Amino acid sequence: MSGAVTYRAITRGQTPDGVWHDAGAMFTTDAPEGDWMQPLDDDGRPIAKEKRPVATKASLREVDVAEIRKEISEKAKAILDDMRTDFDAKLKAETERADAAEKQLASADEAADKATQRADAAEKERDALKAEVEKLKAPATGAKAK
């Protein structure tokens, strides 16, 4: 067997070739190391396994859920930040448009007021001229009749 390693079964377990190994039994296989296998050196002494927590399906799900929640939260925050930036830019543009429209309206109101004043002055002048014309048309009083 190439890449074969000698193990001692910590608990009863089965290798991928279908062979069952009772706890304490020594065997050699090229199968991947299982949690129930203790690797041995050439003299049959245990080789220390790296201490790592055994991940259960539940703990993997919890880790996955936590990572997914974190990722979703980060993406949602980024989306909200983008939306807020867009909204602020649109609000600024609309505010500038409204300010410009108010200035135009104020200018138009001022122009209308001046035009009304000129029209009033022209009407008074017209009325004064009409009165003068009527005076000139009226027969002179005290004139001698022939």
Please name the helix (run of DSSP H) or strand (run of DSSP E) that holds residue 146, with its range, or none. none
Tell me the pLDDT tens digit for each residue of 100-120: 999 999 999 999 999 999 999
Please state the pTM of the whole predicted model: 0.38
Domains and CATH numbers, the chain: 1-52 (2.30.30)
Furthest-apart CA atoms within the chain: distance in Å: 165
Backbone angles phi, psi at 7, to 5 degrees: -130, 165
Tell me the pLDDT tens digit for each residue of 9-53: 999 999 988 999 999 999 999 988 888 999 998 888 998 766 444
